[in-house]
Structure 1
Amino acid sequence: MIIRFSVLMLSNVERYLDEGQDNKDPSQQPENVVLMGWCVPASCTPYDLQNYLDQYLEEVDFPLKKKNVTFTSHVEENSCQKENEQKHFDHVDISFCLVAAIIVTLVTLSTAYEAFRDHTQDKLKDRSPVTKLAMAFSLKRNLNKLSNCEETNPPLQTLYGMRVFCIMMIIMDHRFGTGLSSAVLNFNFVEEQYRSALGSLFFHGDLFVDSFFILSGLLVTYCLLVQFDKRFTNPALIIFLRYVRLTPVYAFVIFYYATLFNYTGIGPMWKTIITQEVQDCRVNWWTNLLYISNYVNTEKMCMVHSWYLPCDFHYFIIAIILCIVISREKRIGLVFLGVMTFLSVLVPFVISMIYMRPAVLHFYPNFLRAPKFHPDFQLTYSKSHTRASPYFIGMIAGYLFYRMRGSEKHLKKAYSDLILTLSLVLLASTLLTGTVFYDPYYKYNAVESAFYAAFHRTLWAVGSIGLLYVASYGHAKLIYNFLSWKPWIPLSRLVYGAYLVHMQFQMRAVAKKGSG
């Protein structure tokens, strides 16, 4: 049998490393601590392992031994996992298997039913609700819907490419972050990236999450105003339909996290990372389904990356109210939207000033290894009232696209080029200037940090909207053709699913690392 475990090795080597390590730099890995994962015979107990390692470290020769530097090991009981360790399904695990089996059965039967109707050429004769329901789970029908394109307003087709690009950047950023949360061999390379232009794509990549707030605000405002032009719809019904559209697949992924996820691998960090995540999902799943997980029990949030969904849902409710007012009293509604935009910028400024918080959330190892407990994650990063400015900027853009729909007007080339240049400058500068606050010798200034915390997301949103606007109504046709490229359409419809499931693969890879 083989047992996999993680071991933390400590020493009194600090005083000999001071010359090579800058204690003012929080991006640096502590060089007197080594985290390792090994495979050993299962007959060894954690106590045996620790004694053996201490004995080996005492006898082995290394350069600093002559200076009375010693190493000690510490083996956590819950970090040990046997390869043949018994895991028994409980009633919750069995329930998930039953639900998954039911869904697979429905998909199979629905697909077979549609194939039978196509074969008998009976697909146009019966459009009853029962028939539509019977084919709702058809694999063929749903795959065909992936390529459906929004044709009523061609400028909106740019959103397909933007959604795909942003989710790709977010997944890449998360992969880089989860990799740093585990064993790191090349410390110097990682530390250099915190201050590099390339590293800003990873360590200030949270701006791509703001891009989704922008897109959501734009689409919600545009669609609601178009809908209210036709007929008024009960706001409670709109919220209910939104909940029904988002929640089933979200609930299914949470259900998986709380059950079978724990059985999908084995490794030195498995119990520390995966088992704890499973436990959090079992206890706090209800906060996710009520879309309050970014305010209630945030330190035990199920699926840490899911903080985005409650924010978006809260903004959606506010957007409905604002769109109703705009559709009835345009001037008053736009004033309210302006006020909400102003408040969304003011709130992070005030919070950063009062609590003396940094301008950005630093994605240092101490955050990446325990993000749910980080004070900036709980205070500013995941809260709806501190992340709202991109959404309201997106709402303003949605109103502009609503007013421009069906219009043949285009910007003059000079104006188009000017807006494009300014937009690119805003996007690049907002992304790159984040590296300033990763400089270990940066002297903290509360006002400067508060201004950056308040405005950098807003400027990113303005730059993004400017880019979309000139692509749709200006002369940036190359950008329009790229963002509206047909292959982006089916991929963009899979973005929500990719957002929900991508972290489980990354966490699993980290938890298994070093398992041999």
Structure 2
Amino acid sequence: MGGAAPQKSEQKSLELLLLNGRASFLAVGQVHPLDIYKPQADTFLDSLGHKLKLEKWEKDEAPCLESALNVLENVKNHTLWATWMWNANTLPFGNLYGSSRHYGSYDQCLKPPWLHTHPQLKTKYCFADFLLSENSDVKKPTVYDPFGSTLDYVDSQTPYYLPLNVIKWGICIPAICSSTAVSKLAKVMYESGTLTTIASDVTVKHCQEAGESPPYSTGFYMFIALILSLVTTAVASTYYRKHVSSEESPNSLKTIITESFCMVRNREALVKDNKDEIRVMNGIRFLTAIGIIGAHVALYVTLSGANNLTYFEKFLDGIFVSVLNLEIIVDTFFMMSGLLHMKGLMGSRQNLFGVLWKRYIRLTGPFALIVFYLIFVSRHLNSGPGWYEIDETEICKKYWLRNLLMMNSNLKYSCHVITWYVSCDYHLAVLATILFYLYQKNRRLGFAVYAAVFILSMLIPGVLTYWFKLQGVILLDFGKFITNYRDTWHFNYLYTPFYSRGSPYIVGVAMGYFMSIYKPADYRKSVSKAWSIIATALSVCAIIYTFLMVYITVCREYDPLEAAMTAGTRRFLWAAAVCCIIAMCEYGTVPLVSDMLSWSPFTPLSRLSYGIYLIHTLVLQRYLLSHRSTHYVDVFSVVFQVIGALGLSIVLSYAMWLFVEAPLINITNHIFHNKSNSIESDKIHGENGVRHRNGIHHQNRVHRQNGLAKYKESSNGIQPDRERGENGVQHQNGFAKTKVL
């Protein structure tokens, strides 16, 4: 009896708050009041309203409560505006089968037809995280008991560590509600709709009001002006070069700019097939890029909401679990990067700081354009309930300088999450340059330090894996990564830093050194056809074995020492096998394989790889994160999206090549080699899209005919050195030697 008076006092206070708040909503329409003392609800809406009033609401939250009750009453009367808002909500479903995201009707909530005529009916769309259980010590279930508790199932994990106690839900509510009020409202709605009381915590991640859109900043207009300026300059330069006077000075600023931006020259530089390039690397690079896009399609489908993740996990049963080892193909790019970088360094003496500086500028130029886009433009071209949680705009605004300085190996600070590779590759290039410097000073010292670095490149990931008791194949715990990929700490130790990814690069350095000493052009078919086929077959077997390591790991009980050995050796084995295939194609005879990898269309596609790598995730984000519903994952849908993303990325990367990459190459060559009296246009080398153009220039003689520049042996002004060109890149130590007649 003693507690009745305080309870009655609280109810009176709540009633006063409701009465005060109701005045602002009288214009909405007729409202049938709910009796707050009503002991039992008659309908679901009555029950929901009753539970809302039982929550503890602060004074500033009372208008939200009144608005919600007003909506419920008008829904009962079938009033259009209220039914419209209510109908935009859908209760979470399928979360026990792995569907963790539930969007409702995003567009219906934010685009009612009376948005501008009745502003008092404005709504907002909020996306919230629901923690269904506070039990953090969840374990993988061994047996599912159909008569057991649902809470026990929710507290479990899937075989690959996907948590079942977290869902993300988008709800449509009155615009007057604050974030704290939204949390209470969403919790009551979930518990009432699912007939459960297990929503222990609700965190509102983002809210967007109807009619709200981000303002166009100065940076947006600057980006548009920059793109228009680049396109205009390229078009004007192309037209000008067709009508150029033969008396024009080759070193004038006008000549430098127009030749650098000439689309005819840059297009020919892209497609020209050079005599001494390592053609098989073009095919390997492009096919590997397709694999990378496939992996990222699966990643973004999962991040943006897959409604059948449990089925996806069942697909991974057996040998198909090897899909989780797909990330190892990135090591192919690291290996090729080391190979090409060392070949460039071995050509002749050069300024090593100049080589690294030039490389930095060329890598950073296209990357800076992507950062510019993400900061000022992406929000205006993307919308949807899944976009805001993965939006990279705020991270780019905070850490853009850190990213452009190649200090983004930590995913938490990475502006464009895939660009950890660019910084990692550049760090390894610096390491390889230091090794080469020591080699120049003292060969014995250089070899000794190289051996030590090679051993450390395998020891470091192995020791870290053993110390932290991690899996030998890092994505075996992909469920933890998907939940919060930027805060997965072990990725920042074992996946993105250069000290854990060095072994394939160091293997490539050794291969580049070998190919510089024993030039393929001088040792063609020095390995017999039989031994070439045998070595290639063994290499393919090694690649398959490395890829299947994850299946072997799953079939065996976890052992820290075995996991450490796997983590330390698998990248080296993969890179060595790919190097062997390249060597057999260059020094021996490998039917079919060599012809397939040397297919001529691979040449331009390979040279576009840097742009493809930077752009393809932007394409995936635009497509997948703008969806208003979750995705069904199967092999066909992944293949379909890979083809679409690949095709559009090729088109966009071609545009980037014509207007950004190629002009930057040419201008950089003039800056670093202004004594050579002409423009050098290196061929593109990309490993995972990263170019290896070590400041190379080609010896060309320019003849003027009919006002159009003609180049001996190369109509686009690009002629690779016949002794040191591979994949269209003449690795001649960063020095350009060109004579203009």
* Category of TM-score, reference length = shorter chain: 0.7 to 0.9
Equivalent positions of 1:335-484 (< 5 A) are: 335-362=448-475, 364-405=478-519, 406-407=521-522, 408-438=524-554, 443-484=557-598
Q: 1:166 aligns with which of 288, 291, 296?
A: 288
Matched with 1:283 is 398
Q: Is the Cα contact below 8 Å between 1:423 and 1:464 reproduced in 2?
A: yes
Q: 1:489 aligns with which of 593, 603, 615?
A: 603
Q: 1:437 to 1:477 in 2, by over 3 A?
A: same
Matched with 1:208 is 329
Q: 1:438 to 1:150 in 2, by over 3 A?
A: farther
1:148 alignment partner AA: K
* SS of match in other structure, 2:168: strand
Residue 138 of structure 1: CA displacement? 2.8
Q: Is the Cα contact below 8 Å between 1:194 and 1:435 reproduced in 2?
A: no
Residue 16 (str. 1) matches residue 129 (str. 2)? no
Range 45-54 or range 254-263, more displaced: 45-54
Q: 1:198 to 1:145 in 2, by over 3 A?
A: farther
Matched with 1:127 is 250
List runs of 5+ in structure 2 lacking aligned partners: 1-108, 111-123, 136-147, 631-741
Q: Is the Cα contact below 8 Å between 2:321 and 2:550 reproduced in 1?
A: no
Q: Is the Cα contact below 8 Å between 2:179 and 2:204 reproduced in 1?
A: yes
Matched with 1:294 is 409
Task: Determine the C-alpha separation between the residues in 2 that align with 1:148 and 1:123.
Answer: 25
Residue 49 of structure 1: CA displacement? 6.5
Q: 2:214 aligns with which of 81, 87, 91?
A: 87
Q: Is the Cα contact below 8 Å between 1:107 and 1:138 reproduced in 2?
A: no
Q: 1:279 to 1:48 in 2, by over 3 A?
A: closer
Task: Determine the C-alpha separation between the residues in 2 that align with 1:344 and 1:10.
Answer: 41
Q: 1:260 to 1:181 in 2, by over 3 A?
A: same
Q: 1:252 aligns with which of 369, 384, 392?
A: 369
Task: Determine the C-alpha separation between the residues in 2 that align with 1:49 and 1:404.
Answer: 69
* SS of match in other structure, 1:255: helix
Q: Is the Cα contact below 8 Å between 2:159 and 2:313 reproduced in 1?
A: no
Residue 58 of structure 1: CA displacement? 5.7
Residue 55 of structure 1: CA displacement? 5.9
Matched with 2:379 is 262
Q: 1:18 to 1:475 in 2, by over 3 A?
A: farther
- Please tell me whether Structure 1 or Structure 2 has the larger radius of gyration of its CA atoms: 2
1:315 alignment partner AA: L
Task: Determine the C-alpha separation between the residues in 1 that align with 2:604 and 2:210.
Answer: 41
* SS of match in other structure, 1:477: coil
* SS of match in other structure, 1:182: helix
Q: Which has the higher contact order (CA 8 A, sep 6+)?
A: 1
Q: Is the Cα contact below 8 Å between 2:134 and 2:200 reproduced in 1?
A: no
Q: Is the Cα contact below 8 Å between 2:163 and 2:479 reproduced in 1?
A: no
Range 31-40 or range 505-514, more displaced: 31-40
Residue 29 of structure 1: CA displacement? 3.9
1:344 alignment partner AA: S
Q: Per-residue displacement from partner, 1:43-76 (whole Å, max 9, x unpaired)?
A: 777677766666665665x7xx6xxx44649764
Identify, as 1 or 2, the structure richer in helix.
1
Residue 312 of structure 1: CA displacement? 0.9
Q: Per-residue displacement from partner, 1:450-502 (whole Å, max 9, x unpaired)?
A: 11110000001111111112222222131111111111111111111111122
* SS of match in other structure, 1:204: helix
Q: Is the Cα contact below 8 Å between 1:195 and 1:435 reproduced in 2?
A: no
Q: Per-residue displacement from partner, 1:219-254 (whole Å, max 9, x unpaired)?
A: 11112212x1xxx11111111111111111111111
Q: Per-residue displacement from partner, 1:324-364 (whole Å, max 9, x unpaired)?
A: 44456555534433332122112222222333332122252
Residue 317 of structure 1: CA displacement? 1.5
Q: 2:360 aligns with which of 232, 243, 247?
A: 243
Q: Is the Cα contact below 8 Å between 1:294 and 1:310 reproduced in 2?
A: yes
Task: Determine the C-alpha separation between the residues in 2 that align with 1:22 and 1:45.
Answer: 30
Q: Is the Cα contact below 8 Å between 2:125 and 2:173 reproduced in 1?
A: yes
Q: 1:312 aligns with which of 425, 429, 436?
A: 425
**Alignment coverage as a number of residue pairs:** 493
Q: Is the Cα contact below 8 Å between 1:195 and 1:436 reproduced in 2?
A: no
TM-score of the superposition, structure 1-length normalised? Answer: 0.86
Q: Is the Cα contact below 8 Å between 1:79 and 1:268 reproduced in 2?
A: no
Equivalent positions of 1:103-142 (< 5 A) are: 103-118=227-242, 120=243, 122=245, 126-130=249-253, 131-142=255-266
Task: Determine the C-alpha separation between the residues in 2 that align with 1:117 and 1:11.
Answer: 67
* SS of match in other structure, 1:267: coil
Matched with 2:312 is 190
Matched with 1:180 is 302
Equivalent positions of 1:19-38 (< 5 A) are: 23=156, 25-27=158-160, 29-37=162-170
* SS of match in other structure, 1:454: helix
Task: Determine the C-alpha separation between the residues in 2 that align with 1:514 and 1:216.
Answer: 40
RMSD, aligned α-carbons: 3.1
Residue 514 of structure 1: CA displacement? 2.6
Quick one: percent identity of the two aligned structures?
27
Task: Determine the C-alpha separation between the residues in 1 that align with 2:453 and 2:565.
Answer: 18
List runs of 5+ in structure 1 lacking aligned partners: none
